Chains A and B, each alone.
Chain A
């Protein structure tokens, strides 16, 4: 693990959810237990693990959208107790506001932050151009392709320059080609920026291709099973990641460890 100073720390985090439903059948269940983690500044860290293991929950806790039942999340040394507007947050859905044009969507966070119109226009033009969306400024989201919407969601977060970017399966709904292209664009935007990325995914190839570190979660109730340093250098060529000499052995190990978590569930062993 890196020796860089941690920007996010999870200390003894537990999370109990209560299923909303009919009052008498309301059940509590443990989503996360005993989670301890430190994410160093400037690193690209991926969370992987079986479905429902609580990795998105942990991400939402860092964003301050969900509070731990016990334990605490520290962000830059201070406990997270309210919505963390210091971070960027990108979800599986692009969540563009359908009633705003591409440019208005990209400028949304700047509006919330009270940036003046001229400065907004200038910044948004730069970012829109950076991902090749110029010419589409006045299109509404429904007039854009999935990949274009995803780029818009990406730059609308980057535009306010958050130190930490939280991504919850951002490329999940995309087709395989667009996905790799966007992974490549993401890496290019990120490299040298000094930003910390926390990236939730189900795709081990994606996690390996992008990350410095991979955090493997156990099946529910989730806890951290293992943290891996990815043995691939930078910069990376995501298009040829499978051909990297270190890839097969590392991927194999990762998959074996994850498989234990998935298979046990399917066999009903616990």
Chain B
């Protein structure tokens, strides 16, 4: 049946070619390891230089009252963990951000799907959605505290609103980006409406949805923290605003540091989830690939 234009894997059994194949593979793996190591070392170096400069500059070139000092911040963080039960407060903040994130994301996804599949409904609702999207959502925080009280619920609501609109709008954009030809071909193959949504429309929209899910991780945190700033007696936002009230700069930075670590971890999780969902996508090339 005709000539093949590509050799099937395992066809290079001829010894010399086989050896060459192995060598190149090994070289490639070594190169990979090297580049991973370089990345890690580079990051470490960056952190050390940054913190070192800060440590040195503070008190010499910049007033220590305003910028504090990494060593003091670490000490203060330690004190916070021991004396002020940082983890207890962190737990509330994380729960608020996480629950808000999940509620906002799920609502955005579901509503996005429902709206984008019907042209008429979409056209009717679009200007309202864009209008609501335009509201600085942080401005809703006082309103939510009025509605839901100063407990955990109001912060969840703020976080959810921060997340919802971005996921919602991206979902709609993603769904409307599904190529018509793919839909047509699937239809002729006998796909039902549900098949189309599950096997064509949703995967086509994943790049958009993943992007939204990544962007909104810090947004959820912002929502939770701002809610805590405005009114609360628990949470890292509360600790930070209390430290600010006492003019305790190291404490302030310590709180920020704690948040930074949490957001980094959350981002790591969502990124690996996104990479898994997007494993079909051609890798974004780097310079070495096009030399």
- The interface of chain A, by Cβ under 8 A from chain B, is 63-65, 83-85, 87-89, 91, 93, 95, 97-101, 108-109, 111-113, 130-132, 134-136, 140-142, 145, 147-148, 157, 160, 178, 181-182, 184-185, 188
B158-200, CB < 8 A from A: 179, 181-182, 184-192, 195, 199-200
A182–B3 Cα gap in the complex (Å)? 10
Cross-chain contact B186 with A63 (CB below 8 angstroms): no
| Inter-chain contacts of B280 with A (CB < 8 A) | 98-101, 140-142
Cross-chain contact A65 with B1 (CB below 8 angstroms): no
| Inter-chain contacts of A130 with B (CB < 8 A) | 1
A109 partner, pick from B1, B8, B182, B189, beta carbons under 8 A: B189
Cross-chain contact B181 with A95 (CB below 8 angstroms): yes
For the A-B complex with A65-B187, A112-B186 known, give 10 more contacts whose Cβ atoms are closer than 8 Å. Answer: A84-B188, A89-B185, A91-B184, A134-B8, A141-B280, A142-B280, A142-B282, A145-B5, A157-B189, A184-B2
Cross-chain contact B5 with A178 (CB below 8 angstroms): yes
- The interface of chain B, by Cβ under 8 A from chain A, is 1-6, 8-10, 179, 181-182, 184-192, 195, 199-200, 203, 206, 279-282
Cross-chain contact B189 with A85 (CB below 8 angstroms): yes
Cross-chain contact A88 with B188 (CB below 8 angstroms): yes
Cross-chain contact B181 with A160 (CB below 8 angstroms): no
Q: A131-B1, A132-B1, A132-B4 are in contact. Are A98 and B188 (CB under 8 A)?
A: no
A190–B10 Cα gap in the complex (Å)? 30
Cross-chain contact A97 with B188 (CB below 8 angstroms): no
Q: A99-B206, A134-B8 are in contact. Are A181 and B181 (CB under 8 A)?
A: no
A95–B187 Cα gap in the complex (Å)? 12
Distance in Å: Cβ of A166 to nearest Cβ of chain B = 8
Instruction: Name the CB-closest residue of A to B192.
Output: A112
| Inter-chain contacts of B191 with A (CB < 8 A) | 112
Cross-chain contact B1 with A108 (CB below 8 angstroms): no
A112–B4 Cα gap in the complex (Å)? 30
A65 partner, pick from B182, B188, B203, B282, beta carbons under 8 A: B188
Distance in Å: Cβ of A127 to nearest Cβ of chain B = 12
Distance in Å: Cβ of B274 to nearest Cβ of chain A = 13
Q: A132-B1, A185-B2 are in contact. Are A85 and B282 (CB under 8 A)?
A: no
Which 6 residue pairs of A and B lie closest in terms of their CB atoms, listed nearest first? A99-B280, A109-B189, A85-B190, A89-B188, A135-B8, A99-B203
